[in-house]
């Protein structure tokens, strides 16, 4: 009788732990998630900087030139 109570208790704890387990909270997967997020962030920053510098170089190229005759 006591063995069945223990079995039922441990089974309910297992089901509760399995139900509340989230893969994103797994400590073994956390470095992979951080690296993946950092990769996306660096790609986003790189794309923004490339867009910004292309825009700036286009604006500089479209400025009127000064012809100074001495």
Predicted confidence (pLDDT) per residue in 2-32, tens digit:
677 878 887 787 777 666 666 666 677 777 7
The helix/strand/coil state of 62 is: coil
The structural domain count of the chain equals 1
Residue predicted with more confidence, 10 or 58: 58
pLDDT score of 24: 64
d(CA 30, CA 36): 10
Residue 67 forms part of a structural domain:
no
39 occurs within a structural domain: yes
Rounded-to-5 percentages of helix, strand, coil across the chain: 75, 0, 25
Residue 62 resides in a domain: no
Cα distance between residue 29 and residue 17, in whole Å: 18
Whether 68 maps to a domain, the answer reads no
CB 36 within 8 A of CB 30: no
Which DSSP category does 22 fall into? -
* pTM exceeds 0.75, yes or no: no
């Amino acid at each position: 009788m006591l063995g069945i109570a223990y079995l039922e208790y441990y089974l309910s704890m297992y089901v509760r732990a399995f139900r509340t387990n989230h893969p994103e909270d797994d400590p073994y997967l956390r470095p992979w998630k951080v690296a993946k997020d950092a990769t996306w962030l660096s790609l986003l920053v790189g794309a923004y900087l490339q867009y910004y510098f292309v825009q700036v170089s286009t604006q500089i190229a479209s400025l009127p030139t000064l012809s100074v005759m001495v």
